[in-house]
Structure formats: C-alpha cells, structure tokens
C-alpha cells in the first residue's frame, strides 16, 4: 500500500472549516484513500473514503486531486469535539490487507 | 456506540498473571482484528480473523494468544507479560471479510503491566 505524508499538527478555529491535507504521491490506480480519526483514548472512527471522485457524507468531504497524488479532508464547521488525531490511509481494497495506521495529524480546534 | 464492545476497559496485572481481554460485535461482521497502541506510537496490527480463521499474525510474541470462537467474539489471552506490553488494545470488526478498509473499532482496553 502507498505511503502517506501528513502534517504533524494543525489548529483550527471553532466554526471554521478544517482542511487536512494528505500526500500520497505513489498511490496506484486501484488504491483507495481512507480517513479515520481518533479522539483521545478512544478507538479510531471511520470518516470517509474515496477512489477518484470527491466524496461527501454527514461528517466530512474528501477532495482528491485529479492526479490522485494528494487529498484533503474537509470538516466544514469544526467544533471542539472534532479535536482528534486524523489518519489518512491508502489501501488496496482487495485481498488480505488490514489497515496500516501512520502518525496522523493532530487537529486542535480552538474556541 | 460503534457496535463493538470491549471488556474490561481497564486492566492492571502483574507479570506472572494470566488475564483475558474480550471483544464482542453485534454488527454481523465477518472479520475481527486486534490492534495495539503504545504511548506515542501508531496503531500496530496484531491479529486478524476472517470467518473465525486466523489470517494474519503480525509477528506477535506468544505471550499474546488470540481466540475467535465465533464471528461475534474475539479474545486476547495474556500471560507472563512484560511492562512494555502496557498499551491500549483495540478490537475492530469489518463487513465483507478483509476486502474493505472500513473498520469499526471498540473503545479499547487499557492494560497496565506492573
């Protein structure tokens, strides 16, 4: 599975959009981009995933560049409860490939 | 509430004790996982079970012994652990076996080995 690079930490003001970037320049054509988050001392929570097209659900939007070498997770109106570590993971959705988590981005939402 | 329940939430044990962690999912999923998260380290995959069969053992020491009696239950038996085994142990499940990256995690069992 392709390697991902994320900033170590980011701040965001409450009520503003949080834009979390992820680079995955070695991604292959059939690898998906997954996003998870982990609130302190809890289990990770699935947020969203996509292959080529932009995706949106009730939690967030995922924007994938046309060349698929990077993506951005957007939390449209960040709240204090969105403070967490956010993980970007690239994964081939076939075969026995359990998710491999990196260090993620620690997002701090400021009041 | 993710539908994956882990017990106990906290466990303190001595190095000579034997204890077990339990995970139960009510989601009808086919695959179950154990991950370990040590302080300030990324999650590490330990074991994967797919339709009750172990499909992955990520070079985990034998003092950790998994058991999957059915698709809804997963145990991690612990014996003669070391202090460096203190960590948050996370259970997860996924639908459609392992052909998905959408995992549902429990809250974790925080283990302290004295």
Q: What is the pLDDT of residues B12-47, one digit of tens each?
A: 999 888 999 999 999 999 899 999 999 888 999 999
Most trustworthy range by pLDDT among A13-22, B53-62, B99-108: A13-22
Q: Do B42 and A43 touch (CB under 8 A)?
A: no
What integer pLDDT is reported at residue B47 of this predicted model? Answer: 94
User: Could you say which of B88, B103, B108 has the minimum Cβ distance to residue A99?
Assistant: B103
% of chain B surpassing 70 pLDDT: 96
Cα torsion angle, A110, B1, B5, B11, sign: positive
What integer pLDDT is reported at residue B98 of this predicted model? Answer: 59
- 3-state secondary structure at position A82: helix
Q: Do A32 and B106 touch (CB under 8 A)?
A: no
Let me know how long chain B is.
114
Q: Do A99 and B104 touch (CB under 8 A)?
A: no
Q: What is the pLDDT of residues A14-53, one digit of tens each?
A: 999 999 999 999 998 889 999 999 998 899 999 999 999 8
Residue B89 in contact with residue B21, Cβ under 8 Å? yes
% of chain A surpassing 70 pLDDT: 95
What integer pLDDT is reported at residue B56 of this predicted model? Answer: 84
Neighboring chain B residues of A2 at a CB cutoff of 8 Å: none
Task: Grade residue A99 by pLDDT with cuts at 50, 70 and 90.
Answer: confident
Q: What is the pLDDT of residues A76-90, one digit of tens each?
A: 999 999 999 999 999
Q: Which chain A residue's Cα is nearest to B98?
A: A96
User: Could you say which of A32, A45, A102 has the minimum Cβ distance to residue B42?
Assistant: A102
Mean pLDDT taken over chain A: 93
Asked if the bond preceding A94 is cis, omega within 30° of 0, the reply is no
What integer pLDDT is reported at residue B51 of this predicted model? Answer: 85
Question: What angle is formed at CA A52 by the lines to CA A50 and CA A53, rounded to 5 degrees?
Answer: 80
Task: Grade residue A95 by pLDDT with cuts at 50, 70 and 90.
Answer: low
Residue A13 in contact with residue A110, Cβ under 8 Å? yes
């Amino acid at each position: 599975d392709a390697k991902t690079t994320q900033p170590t930490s980011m701040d965001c003001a409450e009520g503003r959009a949080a834009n979390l970037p992820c680079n995955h320049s070695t991604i292959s054509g059939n690898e998906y981009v997954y996003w998870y988050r982990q609130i302190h001392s809890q289990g990770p929570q699935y947020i969203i995933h996509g292959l080529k097209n932009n995706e949106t659900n009730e939690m967030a939007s995922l924007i994938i560049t046309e060349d698929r070498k990077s993506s951005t997770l957007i939390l449209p109106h960040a709240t204090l409860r969105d403070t967490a570590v956010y993980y970007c993971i690239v994964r081939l959705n076939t075969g026995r490939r359990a998710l491999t988590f990196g260090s993620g981005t620690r997002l701090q939402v400021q009041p | 509430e993710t539908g994956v329940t882990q017990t106990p939430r906290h466990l303190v044990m001595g190095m000579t004790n034997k204890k077990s962690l339990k995970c139960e999912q009510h989601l009808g999923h086919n695959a179950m996982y154990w991950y370990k998260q040590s302080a300030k380290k990324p999650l590490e995959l330990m074991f994967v079970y797919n339709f009750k069969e172990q499909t992955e053992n990520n070079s985990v020491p034998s003092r950790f012994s998994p058991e999957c009696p059915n698709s809804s239950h997963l145990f991690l038996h612990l014996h003669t652990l070391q202090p460096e085994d203190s960590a948050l142990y996370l259970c997860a499940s996924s639908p459609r076996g392992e052909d998905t990256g959408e995992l549902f995690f429990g809250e974790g069992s925080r283990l302290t080995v004295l």
